[in-house]
Amino acid sequence: MKIFGASGHGKVVNAIATDNGIVVEGFIDDNYQKDTYLGLPICKIQDFDEIIIGIGDNSIRKKLADKYKNQWHKAIIHSRAIVSLQDEIGFGTVIMPNAVVNESISIGNHCIINTSAVVEHDCIIKDFVHISPNATLSGGVSVDVGTHIGAGAVVIPGIKIGRWCTIGAGAVIIKDVPDYAVVVGNPGRIIKFKEID
Ligand SMILES: CC(=O)SCCNC(=O)CCNC(=O)[C@H](O)C(C)(C)COP(=O)(O)OP(=O)(O)OC[C@H]1O[C@@H](n2cnc3c(N)ncnc32)[C@H](O)[C@@H]1OP(=O)(O)O
């Protein structure tokens, strides 16, 4: 398996893969100038490679996923994350240490469930979503494609969050959020809309 992205998030993905006993052959990163990262080679992508994208930016993960189809490694889950066996988790998704992903949850492809995030029962998380460290999704929350939930944000039960939104660090979301909205504060308020995916 190879990891896209010789950077901070790639480093964490490498640690989780290694913890899972997955052999990481190297990193792929056109923007990285050295020959090695963390003692592993910087490689070219090849047709037969299995890859995980170790890049935190949701839109970059989507661009890479669209470009290199059918090469994605199954989800990797840290041994100290708690994930229900009933959950559906898509390929390329990474679940970090101490995350809790409770019963009857669906998580799409190329998502990040970051350190100590809590995803409660019956949540639906679509592709390319990032749930940041210590964020809490209460029961039955849905998060549409590409949305970033910031560190420590809290979403009350049953809320629907649209596609490509950004929920600011520490926000408390008590109402549904429309597509592309950037929301901050407690209670969450929209400060702007993003223009593109
Ligand atoms: C392992 C890891 O590191 S995972 C990464 C986790 N990353 C995060 O959690 C980052 C989340 N990002 C944020 O919270 C950002 O502040 C954003 C995306 C919400 C806003 O960023 P920007 O678009 O650059 O907005 P900007 O900094 O210009 O702030 C706009 C206004 O919102 C306010 N604001 C920004 N973020 C927040 C916030 N989290 N909570 C409350 N108010 C905020 C600013 O004070 C400013 O207010 P003003 O207009 O009255 O001065």
pLDDT recorded at residue 21: 94
Query: pTM of the full predicted structure?
Result: 0.97
Check whether residue 26 and residue 51 sit in a common domain.
yes
pLDDT recorded at residue 47: 83
pLDDT recorded at residue 69: 83
Q: What is the ipTM of this complex?
A: 0.98
Check whether residue 111 and residue 81 sit in a common domain.
yes
- Pocket of ligand 1 contains residue 97 by CB under 6 Å: no
Check whether residue 49 and residue 142 sit in a common domain.
no
**Number of structural domains found in the chain:** 2
pLDDT recorded at residue 57: 97
Check whether residue 181 and residue 128 sit in a common domain.
yes
Check whether residue 103 and residue 26 sit in a common domain.
no
pLDDT recorded at residue 70: 78
Q: Where are the alpha helices (DSSP H) in the chain?
A: 8-19, 58-67
* Atom 50, ligand 1: residue with shortest CA distance: 191
Q: What is the CATH number of the domain that holds 58?
A: 3.40.50.20
Catalytic residue ranges: 121
Q: Would you list the DSSP string of 19-84?
A: HTT----EEE-TT--SSEETTEEB----TT--EEE----HHHHHHHHHHSTT-BPPPEE-TTSEE-
pLDDT recorded at residue 197: 57
From the number of C-beta atoms within 10 Å of its C-beta (0-12, 13-18, 19+), residue 148 rates as: buried
- Pocket of ligand 1 contains residue 184 by CB under 6 Å: yes
Token pair 């989780």 is found at: 16
Check whether residue 59 and residue 17 sit in a common domain.
yes
Check whether residue 153 and residue 61 sit in a common domain.
no
* Atom 18, ligand 1: residue with shortest CA distance: 168
Whether 10 maps to a domain, the answer reads yes
What is residue 193's three-state secondary structure? Answer: strand
Whether 118 maps to a domain, the answer reads yes
Please give the share of the chain, as a percent, with pLDDT higher than 70: 99
Check whether residue 166 and residue 108 sit in a common domain.
yes
Check whether residue 47 and residue 80 sit in a common domain.
no
Whether 197 maps to a domain, the answer reads no
Bridge pairing between strands 148-149 and 166-167: parallel
Q: What is the CATH number of the domain that holds 97?
A: 2.160.10.10
Check whether residue 58 and residue 94 sit in a common domain.
no
Domain extent for 14:
2-67
Check whether residue 142 and residue 48 sit in a common domain.
no
The Å distance, Cα 142 to ligand 1 centre, comes to: 22
- Pocket of ligand 1 contains residue 166 by CB under 6 Å: yes
Check whether residue 17 and residue 110 sit in a common domain.
no
User: Low-confidence residues of the chain, pLDDT below 50?
Assistant: none
pLDDT digits (tens, 9 = 90+) for 136-154: 999 999 999 999 999 999 9
Whether 121 maps to a domain, the answer reads yes
- Identify the DSSP state of 34: S
Residue type, position 21, single letter: G
The residue among 67, 87, 104 that closes a domain is 67
Please give the share of the chain, as a percent, with pLDDT higher than 90: 90
Bridge pairing between strands 130-131 and 112-113: parallel
